[in-house]
Amino acid sequence: MPRAVKRTWGTALLDRFQRPAQVVVTGFGLVILIGTALLASPAATTSGAPAGLLTALFTATSAVCVTGLVAVDTETHWSTFGEVVIAGLIQVGGLGIMTLATLFTVLVSGRLGLRARLSAQVETKTPSMADLRVLVRRVVLFSLMCEVVIAAVLTTRFAVGYGQPFGRALYLGWFHAISAFNNAGFALWPDNLMRFVADPWITLTIAAAVVAGGLGFPVMFELYRSWRRPSRWTVLTKITVVVTTGLLLIGTLIFLVTEWRNPRTFGPLDDADKLLAAFFAAVMPRSGGFNTVDISQMNPSSWLATDVLMFIGGGSGGTAGGIKVTTLGVLALVVWAELRGESRVNVGHRRLPESLQRQAVAITLMGVSLVAVSTYILLVLTPHSLDEVLFEVISAFATNGLSAGITADATPAGHILLVLLMFIGRVGPLTLGSALALRERTRRYELPEERIIVG
């Protein structure tokens, strides 16, 4: 072995990243299995009777994949031990996703979505192992710090505004901070967050947590470092911020228009609360998955808008699901270039490489195909209508967790399909996008290319 090098856990880890798909799939699968075992134990339920294996599997998958679809009501069915297990699974799943997504962003782009490299010494395209270790530490610290801040606000509100004893308020604040920042959508009330529809302390905090977690570490880090100089942002940050803002505005407007007079959703609210509820409903498809109005009572047109927003999802380097706003942004830029008859797709003095455009196409088409086939299967398996089934399928695929109400009474076959969708939706676009981008070896130079992660 003439070129043998000393193998540290570092080089071993780097080696593994040549096969990122396997690492991710195996890792998530293992955590789900452990979670299933824990949730299937008698200690995990309020009643003391062990939950069915499918219920445990469904809940564990939903937690690890930070989806938030529930087959049983979280508060009443699971004991405090069960709830802590769920929160733990969300934390492990969310941190795993954010760390992996950030690592992939760095490995794909050769940098951290920052003008400067992580350490000035590094001149090569591939970051060193030390860089990566620093990076992972930063991601974890950043996540935990965000969660602490969110938990503090929520705890204060639960204690002061709702008269909860401090211990209970802290527990509620901690659980929902983890659930919100990791875009998981689990809540400890049977009506999710509907009782807080007119409470901006709760809903705006949760919405901010969902957006922050869903933007992802690379974008959040760059915004933190240079939020005053948008012209110097990387393409990843530019696209993410522009598309996110656009979707939030359009979404808020659509829900205001469609639900304004609906007596079972926005109808009883005063105008300011309508705006708050519409904004919340526009944020959650990014893939927060909480709800402050009864989704099942929304108009079919609102469901359709939610379907589209859920399918798009959030940012590439965070805990959100869906095809990601970056993918949509790349596709929109392609269409725009076509309409203008330009032979290159440029954005902000950078050219989007053709391989990136193809990745965006591949991710979107595979997502559409997966949703279409799953919807067809679920339509055949269950008596529900297209709007209900489509909503639930997209929610599972985009690891969103909003529900039109059929998850609870789906058949076992339906539950298994949703479990598969959550899992594929979680690991699929991420690993696909990254694996594809890492695989390409040849590079050509015209305008300087800029690689961003999609999916």
Q: Contact between 303 and a second copy (CB under 8 A)? A: yes
Site string for a second copy, 341-380 (x = CB under 8 A): x-x-x--------xx-xxx-xx--xx-----x--xx--xx
Indicate which of K ion, a second copy, none lies near residue 287 (CB less than 5 to 8 Å, by partner kind): K ion
Residue 439: CB minimum distance to a second copy, A: 4
Does residue 249 interact with a second copy by CB under 8 A? no
Q: Is 59 in the site for K ion (CB under 5 A)?
A: no
Q: Does 231 bind a second copy (CB under 8 A)?
A: no
Q: Select from 337, 405, 416, 449 the one that contacts a second copy (CB under 8 A).
A: 337
State the DSSP code for 350: E
Binding mask 415-434 for a second copy (x = CB under 8 A): --------------------
By CB under 8 A, tell whether 21 contacts a second copy: no
To the nearest whole angstrom, how small is the minimum distance from the Cβ of residue 388 to K ion? Answer: 19
| Tally of helices (H runs) and strands (E runs) in the chain | 16, 2
The closest alpha carbon to 42, from 55, 34, 51, belongs to: 51
Q: Given the complex with a second copy, which of 123 and 446 has the nearer CB atom? A: 446
# of chain residues touching K ion (CB under 5 A): 7
Helix (H, G, I), strand (E, B) or coil at 216: strand
Task: For residue 289, give the nearest of 79, 65, 56, 441 by alpha carbon.
Answer: 65
Select the binding partner of residue 289 from K ion, a second copy, none (C-beta < 5 to 8 A, by kind): K ion
SS percent in the chain: helix, strand, coil, step 5: 65, 0, 30
In this structure, the number of other CB atoms found within 10 A of the CB of residue 69 comes to 28
In the range 368-427, which residues lie near K ion by CB under 5 A? 400-401
Q: Select from a second copy, K ion, none the partner in contact with residue 410, using the beta carbon and a kind-dependent cut-off of 5 to 8 Å.
A: none
**CB of 165 within 8 A of CB of 155?**
no
The yes or no reply on residue 409 touching a second copy (CB under 8 A) is: no
- Of the candidates 350, 138, 128, 339, the residue with the CA atom closest to the CA atom of residue 236: 350
90 touches 179 (CB < 8 A): yes
**Given the complex with K ion, which of 360 and 398 has the nearer CB atom?**
398
Helix (H) or strand (E) segment spanning residue 303: helix 300-312
Identify the three-state secondary structure at position 346.
strand
Examine residue 25 and tell whether it contacts a second copy (CB under 8 A): no
Q: How far is the CB of 253 from a second copy (least distance, A)?
A: 12
- Contact with a second copy (CB under 8 A): which of 331, 405, 416, 449? 331
Contacts for 31-38 with beta carbons within 8 Å, 24 or more apart?
31/64, 31/89, 31/92, 31/93, 31/96, 32/57, 32/60, 32/61, 32/64, 32/65, 32/423, 33/60, 35/59, 35/60, 35/61, 35/63, 35/64, 35/85, 35/89, 36/60, 36/61, 38/85
338 is a site residue for a second copy (CB under 8 A): yes
Candidates 258, 399, 400, 403; binder of a second copy (CB under 8 A) is 258
Q: Which stretch binds a second copy (CB under 8 A): 111-119, 163-171, 228-236, 295-303?
A: 295-303
Q: What is the DSSP letter of 269?
A: S
Task: Select 217 or 303, whichever has its Cβ closest to a second copy.
Answer: 303
Q: How far is the CB of 285 from a second copy (least distance, A)?
A: 14
Closest C-alpha among 218, 224, 16, 258 to residue 118: 218
Contacts of 239 (CB under 8 A, 6+ apart): 325, 326, 329, 330, 347, 452
- The reply to whether 92 sits near a second copy by the rule CB under 8 A is no
Answer with the entry of a second copy, K ion, none that 401 interacts with (C-beta below 5 to 8 A by kind). Answer: K ion
* Under rule CB under 8 A, residue 306 binds a second copy: no
Nearest residue to 27 via CA among 395, 438, 430: 430
User: Which residue, 189 or 260, is less far from a second copy as judged by CB?
Assistant: 260
Q: How far apart are CA 429 and CA 449, in angstroms?
A: 22
Which residues sit at the interface with a second copy, rule CB under 8 A? Answer: 254, 257-258, 299-301, 303-305, 308, 331-332, 334-335, 337-339, 341, 343, 345, 354-355, 357-359, 361-362, 365-366, 372, 375-376, 379-380, 385-387, 390, 436, 439-440, 442
Which residues sit at the interface with K ion, rule CB under 5 A? Answer: 68, 183, 185, 287, 289, 400-401
